[in-house]
Amino acid sequence: MPQPKTRWDIFCTVVDNFGDIGVTWRLARQLVAEHALPVRLWVDDSHAFERICPEIDVDLAQQWQQGVEVRHWPSEWVHAEAADVVIAAFACQLPANYMDSMAARETPPLWLNLDYLSAEDWVTGCHGLPSVKYKTVQKFFFFPGFKPGTGGLLRERGLLERRRQFQQDRSAQRQFLQGLGIDPAPDAQLISLFAYENTGLASWLDVLAGDATPTHLLVPEGRILGDVARWLGVETLTVGAIQARQTLTVQVLPFVRQDQYDHLLWCCDFNAVRGEDSFVRAQWAGRPMLWHIYQQDDDIHLDKLDAFLALYTKGLPPEAAQAMNGLWRAWNAGQPIGEHWLAARKHWPPLQENAEAWCLEQALQADLATALVQFYVNWI
Ligand code: TRH
Residues 170 and 147 in one domain: no
Residue positions counted in the chain:
380
The answer to whether the beta carbons of residues 144 and 150 sit under 8 Å apart is: yes
Residues 146 and 53 in one domain: yes
Does 3 map to a domain? no
Distance 255 CA to ligand 1 centre (A): 11
Distance 136 CA to ligand 1 centre (A): 35
Does 65 map to a domain? yes
DSSP summary character for residue 295? P
Distance 89 CA to ligand 1 centre (A): 14
Is pLDDT of 3 > 80? no
Residues 197 and 318 in one domain: yes
- Measure the CA angle with vertex 89, ends 84 and 92; round to 5°: 105
Does 202 map to a domain? yes
Is pLDDT of 4 > 70? no
Is pLDDT of 308 > 90? yes
Does 35 map to a domain? yes
Per cent of the chain over pLDDT 90 is: 94
Rounded to an integer, the average pLDDT of 118-134 is 96
Residue to mutate, 17, 65, 153, 289, ligand 1, most ligand atoms under 8 Å from C-beta: 17
Ligand 1 atom at minimum distance from 294 CA: 14
Q: Give the CA distances from residue 323 to residues 109, 290, 326, 351, in Å, rounded to whole numbers and listed in that order.
A: 48, 12, 5, 10
Does 1 map to a domain? no
Rounded to an integer, the average pLDDT of 282-292 is 98
pLDDT band for 134, please (50, 70, 90 cuts).
very high
Residues 197 and 296 in one domain: yes
Ligand 1 atom at minimum distance from 273 CA: 18
pLDDT band for 15, please (50, 70, 90 cuts).
confident
Distance 22 CA to ligand 1 centre (A): 6
Residues 211 and 306 in one domain: yes
Is pLDDT of 373 > 70? yes
Residue closest by Cα to atom 6 of ligand 1: 19
Orientation of helix 258-267 relative to helix 277-285, angle to 10°: 40
Assign residue 199 the CATH number of its domain.
3.40.50.2000
Residues 358 and 375 in one domain: no
Chain-centroid distance of CA 113 in Å reads: 18
Residues 115 and 183 in one domain: no
Does 306 map to a domain? yes
Report the pLDDT value the prediction gives residue 16, as an integer from 0 to 100.
85
The total number of structural domains that make up the chain: 2
Residue closest by Cα to atom 27 of ligand 1: 258
Domain limits at 269? 159-362
The answer to whether the beta carbons of residues 20 and 90 sit under 8 Å apart is: yes
Residues 66 and 39 in one domain: yes
What whole-number distance in Å separates Cα of residue 221 and Cα of residue 241? 10
Residues 79 and 22 in one domain: yes
Ligand 1, CB within 6 Å, residue ranges = 15-20, 22, 52, 194, 220, 255-258, 261, 274-279, 294
pLDDT one-digit tens code per residue, 143-154: 999 999 999 999
pLDDT band for 91, please (50, 70, 90 cuts).
confident
Residues 205 and 61 in one domain: no
Residue to mutate, 52, 225, 278, 279, ligand 1, most ligand atoms under 8 Å from C-beta: 278
Residue closest by Cα to atom 13 of ligand 1: 275
**In terms of Cα–Cα distance, which of 116, 166, 176 is closest to 144?**
116
Residues 130 and 119 in one domain: yes
Instruction: Compute φ and ψ for 185, nearest 5 degrees.
Output: -60, 145
pLDDT one-digit tens code per residue, 151-191: 999 999 999 999 999 999 999 999 999 999 999 999 999 99
Q: What positions carry a catalytic annotation?
A: 20, 276
Assign residue 70 the CATH number of its domain.
3.40.50
**In terms of Cα–Cα distance, which of 306, 297, 270 is closest to 194?**
270
The answer to whether the beta carbons of residues 376 and 4 sit under 8 Å apart is: no
Residue closest by Cα to atom 30 of ligand 1: 256
Report the pLDDT value the prediction gives residue 172, as an integer from 0 to 100.
98
pLDDT one-digit tens code per residue, 245-277: 999 999 999 999 999 999 999 999 999 999 999
DSSP summary character for residue 298? G
pLDDT one-digit tens code per residue, 224-238: 999 999 999 999 999
Distance 222 CA to ligand 1 centre (A): 10
Residues 175 and 286 in one domain: yes
Does 116 map to a domain? yes
Is pLDDT of 73 > 60? yes
Strand order from edge to edge, sheet including 130-134:
62-65, 68-72, 39-43, 8-12, 85-89, 110-114, 137-142, 130-134
Does 265 map to a domain? yes
